[in-house]
Chains A and B, each alone.
Chain A
């Protein structure tokens, strides 16, 4: 074995060539590390800096745009947040002493390489983020994007991803309460696997990740550390270990991690017991960048330094180097800071749950992170320089040259269906199209019942869970993003995503409260992509200000592209709402004795619509207009309607327009309806336009007057569109046709099974 690259050795050998470029560091970044340390970094330090300064961990291309969040967060918005951007996950006050925490994260690239494990570990990672706030994870959601539905590789990726999301989440005992499945050829070589977790805790139990109190112990607990996900860092291993069996062979290590949901389930229960006994000073999950991230973040957030004896880390593989141990992304691990007097109690809880726990270091005076390996110092760094003071780039921004042409290519000239027969045929074709068809093939692989708190889940517009069994207090969540809209106008398109998620939460009867996001984009080195990104961030931040709900956190995923072609810009927005009593929730499906009303206004808006996509393969023009004031008003009326029992059902209008909403509401309620369109507007526009700010509501017939008076008083446009007809087993649209529920169901539910069974 060659010599261990200690700090002393590094100081003596300043001229040693280091493979920093292979590790993804630029020349000036490497130079800065040398400057910070006043010498060359050791192998272990280089491993730490290179992972922590990667785009994924350092947000080096996106951070400069965070100014939009702060500039658009008013004091009232701030007041709702118990923890915001910068913590593992945002935390909001939901009343009665309860706090909810939620976050979205991406696991896109690993899920393309190995769909099952990539998706599974994506779920596992986001759940640990929620645990790191001191909360009990309560539910997950999975916004997904795939290539063309009928592309052969989608048959590999989609079933694997879905099985992975289900395999992990089901085994963890977290209900899956919603998500998205969207197909577009731009995701062919780069599917998006985003995962959301929501948790809750008593507000006073909030735990923040920091290591304070000199003498406090650092304990690593959970799974053993193996060679998972250290693909990049193995260039260091092969240097130090060249020749021996663990050496060059390791270069070929796949960066795939395998999830062990059972270990994570036990870890959750173990953590909750530790929190309950109040024996944790600080806690941090181990995700991307493993121990490099956990130790440097804990240390830099605390009030002292930290000393870690890395050789104490329980390993799963033989002959691992310090660099490998530091960068391993083995799953299902957490790191806690514990007072010395509590260590025995801590260990006892871990033993009860059969969780491996090892004291690996302590909080020290001073401000250095010092890591030793069998007594020799291999890392000695200021932790902030690793965790927070990474490079920051002001990437060039340029509106793409072809943006104008894209906008000029409006859908106005596309041939529209005329007459009853064509309209009816279009409706049937749309209902069965991959983006509008039922998601049941996917969602029936997910447990939505576990823990007994699920009040709404797929196929409802929103997922809702009960937090407090006594009072019925609960939260509702929706995620959305129509990336075709974002492509046409990133600013407005992102606001449309926000508006849709907000509206989806509102139709359940909940009041929207806070926002998270997962910004999936192409390469930040492409000025056109950076323009999309900047517009999206600004659109989201300014939209949130207008709605009065803060962005509490999120995630950025760059370099999503196939070859040099970027994905459609996909800023997925998640909105969390609160409902005082989940018994007031509003379902999506219709029922007998209801009158149908359409709230909002319909315009001739087909830019980026699903109709233009399905029927003409067209993407151009401008997306529907956003009116956030209208969305806010809608939400207020819906919340009031739900509270006073005026709403029997509600379904928001989005992809596919009114036609799609009617079909879904009938099928979910298993009842027919008779619908009359307005005679002062084109039937096609009324059925398929995707104008924002609209909701289909069903009110009990006796309450019709009260509800419409409420709308009138608040200045919300409404129109009666029909009645539920539970005697009939068809959706009848005057002037368009009668659609038997059985035919609609066969068309709507048949598509995904035909593609993926």
Chain B
């Protein structure tokens, strides 16, 4: 199975996302921001970084990149899409996920090993976790505060679409401690913390993030 990993100018964690895909025994396919088709991949990861420098607003410019049109089309048809950090911001800007990410309440960039509670284990990216499981993965962002209209937040909570919640302290002022959410059909997931940096305790705090990529492989193979 093939998982596309998009590189925009300024993307940083694409190598990490590709490595995570390989660790889950899938093939990583590099997708370039200028691509207009998805090269036959079964799922797409929009990785972290600072696309186009993110000077204007995180993800604001990347969402217009040519590759985003086929991503949006495929996601609407149910292709699994994962946005990590800047990728989450881009998916929100592109309208695939609700809400927006804003400046951390501390006004500082924060890099730390963060506990998360997995609250939805039905998405293709989370089937391998037990509901309520706590996992530790790195969080590293300056604009990670999740915000949305109250009605949107209520809807997310009501429909069980909060996929990850910060545990042990809210690092950035996100509403309801939200760390990650999914689309209405559950196929598109975005989160601020970085599961791809937690696939091996040698280079990350834990290997708790690997199960996300393994979940995907299982879900796609089962489908």
Contacts and interface: CB of A to CB of B under 8 A. Distances in A.
Contact of B202 (A167, A261, A447, A583): A583
B128 interface: no
Contact of A173 (B12, B110, B203): B12
A582 B53 contact: no
Contacts of B110: 444-445
A455 B53 contact: no
Interface in B201-221: 202-204
Interface stretch (B13-21, B36-44, B176-184): B13-21
Given A265-B9, A353-B9, 18 more contacts: A167-B109, A170-B142, A171-B10, A173-B13, A262-B9, A262-B10, A262-B54, A445-B108, A447-B109, A447-B111, A448-B111, A449-B197, A451-B16, A452-B196, A452-B197, A453-B203, A454-B203, A582-B202
A443 B112 CA distance: 9
B203 A450 contact: no
A633 interface: no
Contacts of A163: 108-109
Contacts of A447: 109, 111, 140
B54 to A, nearest CB: 8
Contacts of B196: 452
B83 interface: no
Contact of B10 (A265, A443, A453, A455): A265
Interface in A465-514: 466, 469
Contacts of B138: 449
B214 to A, nearest CB: 17
A5 to B, nearest CB: 38
Given A450-B13, A453-B203, A444 B19 contact: no
A450 B204 CA distance: 10
B109 A261 contact: no
Given A449-B197, A451-B16, A452-B16, A444 B111 contact: yes
B52 A262 contact: yes
Contacts of A262: 9-10, 50, 52-55
A467 to B, nearest CB: 13
A449 B140 contact: yes
A187 interface: no
A191 to B, nearest CB: 19
Contact of A445 (B15, B109, B202): B109
A455 B203 contact: yes
A444 B112 contact: yes
Nearest to B50: A171
B165 interface: no
9 contacts: A167-B109, A173-B12, A263-B53, A265-B10, A443-B111, A448-B111, A449-B194, A451-B16, A452-B19
A354 B13 CA distance: 20
Contact of B9 (A354, A449, A455, A466): A354
A466 B109 contact: no
A88 to B, nearest CB: 24
Interface in B131-174: 138, 140, 142
A343 interface: no
A170 B104 CA distance: 16
A228 interface: no
Nearest to B53: A262
A455 B202 contact: yes
B49 interface: yes
B49 A449 contact: no
A173 B204 CA distance: 16
B53 A166 contact: no
Nearest to B51: A262
A407 B215 CA distance: 66
A449 B111 contact: yes
A270 to B, nearest CB: 10
Contacts of A173: 12-13, 49
Contacts of A354: 9
Contacts of B19: 452, 469
Interface string B74-100: 000000000000000000000000000
A582 B138 CA distance: 20
Given A266-B10, A353-B9, A454-B203, A260 B108 contact: no
Contacts of A265: 9-10, 12, 50
A112 interface: no
A102 B116 CA distance: 37
A454 B15 CA distance: 13
Nearest to B52: A262
A354 B52 CA distance: 11
A265 B10 CA distance: 6
A262 B140 CA distance: 17
Contact of A449 (B53, B54, B109, B204): B204
B109 A170 contact: yes
Contacts of B9: 262, 265-266, 353-354
Interface in A647-690: none
